[in-house]
């Protein structure tokens, strides 16, 4: 099976035996999924695909596999997240373990030279091709705790916990702020009407740092929060805990972990990027499959950049929709499931 992505094509051409190695934060690639290594990722879609092929795949929040002969770290778009993975590997794998770092030039792979030097780790360039670079070093204890990457900030009267790689890391996104301004009116007229028995079961799809889940839980909703990003799921869990609020948090590739569960409302600020590329896939699934996960009369409320082609998707899925807010940058849409549909 030939490699599909530029970074894996660079690895494939190496005269190197990667059997048993740990692939850290990799992309989806058939070459990797057909290999004999172990996979470590916070992306539920990647984990599910690999496990479906019978491969060993774990999240960094699960038990660590036995020490591998080496590891390859696929450098992410977020440099802070890349540094976190590097600290995690230094803390969890034996000193002296070979580590290779691979990434696209446009994604900042050359920056690893300074990152490794700051940690006192040596580095050599192994190869470059396909506008990607491959570097090698060996792990060592560096005296920095990867858990220190978790931070918190205040927004909307809530304490939000965040981590590098989580959407809106360390700040309240403007689109989410616009959506929050519409929720009271959309879910119940006025604060006195915002009761848990009225809000019912609410799904926060793509929960990020948990701002929507916490806002809803504070008003009595029975909240389920899901995200494909394991860091976001953990951030939301910590946010709910920090505010003394209850809610269920699940790692899920859109609706994959929810079975046939249905909700009174689905609330979302859906992503449309995969690394640097625009990807409407998850948001498209969110909209198309929403009626199957809403109770009769249930509603989908989402915010999106104004240029995104969601109106057509909403019309096809629900037969119609309304725009609750439009500030020229973002729009808040509402679509209601027909109560006559089974």
What's the confidence (pLDDT) of residue 342? 52
196 by DSSP, 3-state: which?
Answer: helix
- Work out the angle between the directed axes of helices 230-242 and 211-218 (0-180°, nearest 10): 30
- Cα–Cα distance measured from residue 113 to residue 299, given in angstroms and rounded to the nearest whole number: 49
What's the confidence (pLDDT) of residue 63? 72
Burial of 257 (0-12, 13-18, 19+ CB in 10 A): middle
97 by DSSP, 3-state: which?
Answer: coil
Structure tokens at 305: 């950049």
What's the confidence (pLDDT) of residue 193? 43
What's the confidence (pLDDT) of residue 34? 80
Domain boundaries, the chain: 6-143, 150-336
Structure tokens at 220: 């009595």
What's the confidence (pLDDT) of residue 189? 46
* Residue closest to 330 by CA, chosen among 301, 308, 299: 308
Phi, psi values for residue 149, rounded to 5° = -70, -20
CB proximity list for 206: less than 8 A, separation 6 or greater: 167, 226, 227, 228, 232, 268, 269, 270, 271, 282, 286
Question: What spatial distance separates the first Cα and last Cα of the chain, rounded to whole Å?
Answer: 44
Residue 151 pairs with which residues in a beta bridge?
Answer: 162
In the block, which residue shows the tokens 């440099």? 79
DSSP secondary-structure letter at 244?
Answer: T
127 by DSSP, 3-state: which?
Answer: strand
Query: Which one of 3.40.50.970, 3.30.70.100, 1.10.3260.10, 3.40.50.150 gives the CATH number of domain 6-143?
Result: 3.40.50.150
Angle at 293 between CA 246 and CA 62, to 5 degrees: 50
Phi, psi values for residue 104, rounded to 5° = -80, 145
- Cα–Cα distance measured from residue 45 to residue 52, given in angstroms and rounded to the nearest whole number: 11
What's the confidence (pLDDT) of residue 280? 64
Domains 6-143 and 150-336 share a fold: yes
Structure tokens at 137: 């070093």
What's the confidence (pLDDT) of residue 340? 52
Give the fold, CATH level 3, of 150-336.
Rossmann fold (3.40.50)
What's the confidence (pLDDT) of residue 188? 75
Does residue 309 contact residue 280 with C-beta atoms inside 8 Å?
yes
DSSP string, 30-82: HHHHTSS-EEE-SBHHHHHHHHHTT--EE-TTSPPPSPPS-EEEE--S-HHHH
Over residues 130-188, the pLDDT tens digits come to 999 999 999 999 989 999 999 999 999 999 999 999 988 889 999 999 999 999 899 87
What's the confidence (pLDDT) of residue 341? 53
Mean pLDDT by 10 residues, the chain (342 residues): 92 92 94 85 93 89 83 94 96 96 94 94 95 97 93 96 91 95 81 57 96 96 96 97 98 95 96 53 91 96 92 95 96 88 52
| Residue 115: its H or E element | helix 112-118
DSSP secondary-structure letter at 148?
Answer: G
The helices-and-strands tally (H runs, E runs) of the chain is: 11, 18
- Cα–Cα distance measured from residue 159 to residue 96, given in angstroms and rounded to the nearest whole number: 40
Q: How many of the other CB atoms lie within 10 Å of CB of 320?
A: 11
Burial of 181 (0-12, 13-18, 19+ CB in 10 A): middle
Question: How many Å is the Cα radius of gyration of the chain?
Answer: 21
């Amino acid at each position: 099976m030939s490699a599909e992505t530029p970074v894996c094509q660079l690895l494939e051409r190496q005269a190197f035996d990667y059997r048993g190695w740990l692939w850290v934060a990799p992309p989806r690639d058939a070459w990797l999924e057909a290999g004999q290594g172990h996979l470590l990722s916070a992306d539920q879609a990647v984990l599910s695909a690999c496990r479906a092929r019978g491969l060993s795949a774990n999240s960094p929040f699960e038990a660590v596999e036995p020490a591998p002969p080496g590891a390859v770290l696929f450098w992410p778009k977020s440099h802070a997240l890349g540094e976190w993975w590097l600290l995690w590997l230094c803390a969890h794998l034996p000193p002296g373990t070979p580590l290779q770092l691979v990434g696209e030039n446009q994604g900042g792979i050359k920056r690893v030279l300074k990152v490794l030097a700051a940690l006192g780790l040596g580095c050599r360039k192994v190869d470059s091709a396909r506008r990607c670079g491959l570097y090698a070093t060996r792990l060592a204890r560096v005296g920095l705790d990867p858990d220190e990457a978790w931070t918190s900030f205040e927004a909307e009267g809530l304490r939000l916990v965040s981590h590098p790689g989580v959407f809106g890391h360390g700040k309240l996104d403007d689109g989410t702020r616009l959506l929050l301004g519409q929720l009271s009116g959309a879910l119940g007229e006025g604060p006195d009407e915002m009761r848990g028995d009225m809000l019912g079961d609410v799904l926060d799809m793509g929960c990020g740092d948990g701002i929507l889940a916490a806002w809803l839980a504070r008003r009595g909703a029975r909240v389920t929060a899901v995200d494909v990003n394991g860091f976001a799921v953990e951030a939301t869990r910590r946010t709910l805990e920090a505010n003394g609020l209850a809610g269920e948090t699940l790692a899920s590739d859109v609706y994959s972990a929810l079975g046939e569960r249905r909700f009174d409302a689905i609330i979302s600020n859906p992503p449309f990027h995969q690394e640097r590329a625009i990807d409407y896939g998850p948001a498209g699934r969110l909209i198309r499959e929403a009626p199957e996960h809403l109770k009769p009369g249930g509603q989908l409320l989402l915010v999106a950049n104004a240029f995104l082609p969601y109106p057509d998707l909403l019309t096809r899925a629900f037969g119609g929709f309304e725009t609750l807010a439009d500030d020229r940058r973002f729009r808040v849409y509402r679509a209601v499931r027909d109560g006559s549909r089974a």
